[in-house]
């Protein structure tokens, strides 16, 4: 209950998202402890009467985690590094330090020595100083592609070319909806993928391509579903969409929406609570645009782009999605097996979801991660 409340108060999570985050953090602990027991049962092997070390930690691992999953990703990064025999310098996002502080307290009380696991509170400049320290032997990072590139350059500058960098960096995630799709199911999946967590997930849906034959019906149902969303205080169980993490993030979304409204057509914009102007609420919205090339960047919030396509242009659609350089999640809504097989084969993405939402990978069951600019 304490972590549920902290996720709500500090990170703006809804009650359902807060509960799911705690469950994911527990799943990470179980998963990595199982991996440690099975992979590292014996750190040695004997060859010609000589003992050889099979597994050895790298040293100090810098774990730099994001604010959008301040408990689950923070815990996952830290325990993965610890069970592999490393020490950890953990730097959570500056927006969510209290959750991280409570987690470290728990880990220390569970028996992990303070010298093995240390918490460092600070902003991006502090993170850069940690990575710049010659004693850091590897980095686990979740955040923007730009920062990931900067980390890689820093490691190379100090000739630490062999230092592992595990970076998960989001993307402009797309979904294809063909004319055979079950639209009621599709709309439910689109709503969850685009607007759950106020769109503040690296796996969230950003662009949905809808076959021209069903475009009008799709947008009609989308408007109706968006009209039902309840935006407001995440403390209340009936709230669907909570706030954006902070004012700078909200201002970035407002700037982005202003640009996209000049080149696209508004399909629907939700009614935000009266306190929107005073707090960090941002109204979920959907815009029709002509091409994914008009987007340029990931808008990390509840903004959905909708594009119409024709059946004969499907290959061109897949090519233009791949051309963006990202590759985290991709969705397909179709009842035609040959269509789903072709799209799955041709798309370059780490995770492909067929006839379901594009968020909520389950630890230990579905590996999660992207390629190219996404990981």
Helices and strands, counts by H and E, the chain: 11, 14
- Do the Cβ atoms of 285 and 257 come closer than 8 Å? yes
- Do the Cβ atoms of 80 and 140 come closer than 8 Å? yes
Q: Which of 63, 202, 270, 285 is catalytic?
A: 202
| Helical spans, DSSP H, in the chain | 2-11, 15-39, 72-83, 97-109, 124-132, 145-157, 183-195, 215-227, 247-263, 314-323, 337-346
Q: Is 341 a catalytic residue?
A: no
- 351-357: long-range contacts, CB 8 A cutoff, minimum separation 24: 351/203, 353/329, 355/181, 355/182, 355/185, 355/189, 356/189, 356/331, 357/188, 357/189, 357/192, 357/193, 357/331
Q: Is 202 a catalytic residue?
A: yes
- Four-CA torsion 101, 104, 105, 111, nearest 10 degrees: -170
Query: Across the strands, what pairs with 285?
Result: 269, 303
Q: Which of 10, 21, 24, 168 is catalytic?
A: 168
Rounded Cα–Cα distance for residues 231 and 270 (Å) = 8
User: What residues act catalytically?
Assistant: 168, 202
């Amino acid at each position: 209950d304490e972590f549920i409340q902290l996720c709500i108060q500090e990170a703006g999570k809804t009650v359902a998202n807060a509960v799911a985050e705690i469950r994911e953090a527990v799943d990470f602990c179980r998963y990595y402890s199982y991996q440690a027991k099975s992979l590292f049962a014996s750190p040695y092997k004997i060859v010609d009467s000589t003992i050889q070390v099979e597994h050895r930690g790298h040293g100090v691992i810098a774990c730099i985690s994001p604010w959008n999953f301040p408990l689950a990703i923070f815990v996952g990064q830290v325990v993965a590094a610890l069970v592999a025999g490393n020490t950890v310098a953990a730097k959570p996002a500056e927006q969510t330090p209290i959750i991280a502080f409570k987690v470290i307290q728990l880990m220390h009380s569970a028996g992990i020595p303070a010298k093995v696991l240390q918490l460092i509170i600070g902003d991006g400049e502090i993170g850069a100083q940690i990575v710049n320290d010659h004693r850091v032997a590897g980095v686990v990072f979740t955040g923007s592609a730009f920062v990931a590139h900067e980390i890689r350059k820093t490691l190379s500058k100090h000739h630490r070319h062999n230092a592992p960098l595990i970076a998960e960096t989001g993307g402009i995630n797309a979904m294809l909806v063909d004319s055979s799709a079950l639209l009621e199911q599709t709309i439910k999946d689109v709503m969850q993928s685009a607007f759950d967590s106020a769109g503040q997930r690296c796996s969230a849906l950003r662009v949905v391509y809808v076959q021209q034959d069903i475009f009008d019906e799709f947008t009609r149902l989308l408007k109706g579903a968006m009209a039902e969303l309840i935006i407001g205080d995440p403390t209340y169980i009936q709230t669907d969409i909570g706030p954006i993490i902070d004012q700078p993030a909200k201002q970035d979304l407002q700037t982005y929406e202003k640009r996209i409204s000049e080149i696209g057509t508004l399909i629907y914009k939700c009614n935000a609570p009266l306190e929107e102007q005073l707090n960090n609420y941002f109204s979920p919205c959907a815009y029709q645009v002509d091409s994914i090339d008009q987007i340029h960047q990931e808008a990390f919030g509840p903004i959905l782009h909708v594009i119409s396509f024709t059946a004969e242009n499907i290959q061109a659609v897949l090519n233009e999605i791949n051309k963006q350089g990202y590759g985290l999640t991709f969705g397909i809504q179709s009842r035609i097996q040959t269509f789903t097989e072709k799209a799955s084969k041709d798309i370059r993405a780490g995770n492909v979801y067929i006839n379901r939402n594009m968020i909520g990978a389950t630890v230990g069951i579905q590996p999660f991660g992207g390629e190219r600019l996404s990981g």
